[in-house]
């Protein structure tokens, strides 16, 4: 990403050009004045902390030793790691300041911002995943599901990147437990190295083994699960206008299609109206194919993980193989295509979907394809 590469600290001075960064991004300026818990953030507001975290990253020898492209990607993640705090920070009746949920909401915001900047999909998703998981090394050793968390982070980004992000985050604070947190981060690094998921994705015996590892808690990641699938379902995911119908016509022309748009038209349901009857009808048609052992395409926006789970959970129960196809287009292309449809989705609905958009990841299906426009 050129804009971040131009602002990223570089040798020989490794300086963070904060005035230029502030001028370039409104979401950086929005961090100013957002209060933080003084116990863990005595340095000041979120903008002050973000600047200090970026400066801490720029001073780390491990970061400086990385290739330039990796330095830019990590710098972007540190710059954006608290981007959602202005929308999540609350002050309780007792005066305590919290920002619950800012990591997850930050993931959603990073995706939208970088999509609008036309960032490459894999690059964008790496940064979004780091923001989503940036607090993991602080407390991970207390979690009973640590292995699954570390494996998921390795599939979406890199745990050694996550370690550097967490290190910069804690060094960019003024708090009393810095050394304790740094010890936790070091332990997380050692754990990931032991689990063979520090510098790259955790490997599984097969796609089927990986899929069921993330569906069944406590499953042995080395277990070579027998593939008993009896059909394949192609589950589409993409905002209105991303090109899902065209892709299906070109790539799955002989398969039956369960289309929510088509069902919506049959039932006379407005895109901005109650979608429960549409979803119920789609699930019933899907069950007919699943009971018959017949492969098909499930065509819906499916922009959130929760919505996709309603599809993938049903398919898995019928021993189906799941292929997730995530289609994208730049914002201006997406809106132009949508407006040219015979029944365009209202802009307000598209905006709502963009705010909820979670790109499918390898923990959700046997296979996941990210396909940008063209």
Provide mean pLDDT across the span 16-44. 94
Q: What is the C-alpha to C-alpha distance for residues 351 and 346, in angstroms, rounded to an integer? A: 9
Assess whether pLDDT exceeds 60 at residue 359: yes
Predicted pLDDT of residue 289: 98
* 269-288 pLDDT, tens digit each: 988 788 899 999 999 999 99
Q: What does the DSSP 8-state code read for residue 202?
A: P
Q: Are 291 and 318 in contact (CB under 8 A)?
A: yes
Q: Are 27 and 109 in contact (CB under 8 A)?
A: yes
The H or E element containing residue 298 is strand 296-299
**Exposed, middle or buried by CB within 10 Å (0-12, 13-18, 19+), for 339?**
exposed
Provide mean pLDDT across the span 169-194. 95
Q: How confident is the model at residue 343 (pLDDT cuts 50, 70, 90)?
A: confident
**b/e for 26-50, b at 16 or more Cβ within 10 A?**
eebeebeebebeeebbebbbbbbbb
Block residue for tokens 């060094």: 171
For the chain, the structural domain boundaries read 2-194, 231-371
CATH number for the 2-194 domain, one of 1.10.287, 2.60.120, 2.60.40, 1.10.3210?
A: 1.10.3210
Q: Quick one: 231-371 is in which CATH superfamily?
A: P-loop containing nucleotide triphosphate hydrolases (3.40.50.300)
Return the SS3 of 20.
helix
Q: What is the C-alpha to C-alpha distance for residues 235 and 285, in angstroms, rounded to an integer? A: 14
Assess whether pLDDT exceeds 80 at residue 374: no
Assess whether pLDDT exceeds 90 at residue 39: no
Assess whether pLDDT exceeds 70 at residue 115: yes
Assess whether pLDDT exceeds 60 at residue 262: yes
- Percentage of residues in the chain having pLDDT higher than 70: 99
Predicted pLDDT of residue 373: 65
How many C-beta atoms surround the C-beta of residue 347 within 10 A? 12
Topology match between the domains 2-194 and 231-371: no
Return the SS3 of 258.
strand
Q: What does the DSSP 8-state code read for residue 205?
A: S
């Amino acid at each position: 990403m050129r804009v971040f590469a131009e602002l990223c600290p570089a040798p020989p001075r490794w300086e963070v050009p904060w005035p230029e960064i502030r001028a370039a991004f409104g979401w950086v300026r929005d961090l100013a004045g957002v209060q933080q818990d003084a116990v863990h953030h005595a340095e000041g507001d979120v903008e002050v902390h973000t600047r200090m975290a970026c400066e801490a990253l720029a001073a780390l020898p491990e970061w400086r030793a990385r290739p330039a492209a990796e330095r830019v990607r990590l710098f972007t993640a540190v710059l954006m790691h608290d981007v959602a705090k202005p929308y999540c920070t609350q002050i309780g009746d007792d005066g305590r300041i919290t920002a619950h949920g800012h990591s997850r909401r930050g993931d959603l915001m990073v995706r939208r911002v970088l999509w609008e900047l036309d960032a490459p999909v894999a690059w964008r998703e790496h940064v979004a995943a780091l923001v989503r998981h940036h607090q993991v090394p602080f407390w991970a050793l207390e979690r009973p599901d640590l292995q699954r968390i570390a494996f998921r982070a390795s599939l979406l980004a890199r745990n050694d990147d996550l370690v550097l992000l967490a290190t910069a985050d804690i060094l960019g604070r003024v708090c009393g437990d810095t050394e304790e947190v740094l010890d936790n981060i070091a332990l997380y690094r050692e754990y990931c190295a032991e689990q063979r998921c520090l510098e790259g994705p955790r490997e599984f015996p097969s796609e089927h083994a990986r899929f069921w590892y993330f569906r069944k808690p406590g499953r042995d990641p080395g277990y070579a699960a027998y593939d008993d699938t009896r059909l394949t379902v192609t589950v589409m995911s993409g905002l209105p206008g991303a090109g899902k119908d065209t892709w299906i016509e070109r790539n799955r022309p002989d398969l039956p299609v369960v289309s929510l748009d088509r069902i919506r038209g049959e039932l006379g349901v407005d895109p901005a109206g109650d979608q429960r009857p549409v979803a119920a009808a789609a699930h019933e048609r899907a069950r007919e194919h699943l009971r018959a052992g017949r492969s098909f395409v499930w065509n819906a926006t499916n922009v959130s993980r929760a919505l996709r789970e309603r599809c993938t959970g049903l398919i898995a129960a019928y021993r189906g193989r799941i292929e997730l196809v995530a289609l994208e287009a730049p914002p201006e292309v997406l809106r132009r295509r949508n407006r040219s449809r015979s029944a365009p989705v209202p802009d307000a609905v598209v905006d709502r979907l963009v705010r909820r958009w979670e790109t499918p990841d390898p923990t959700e299906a046997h296979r996941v394809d990210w396909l940008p426009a063209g």
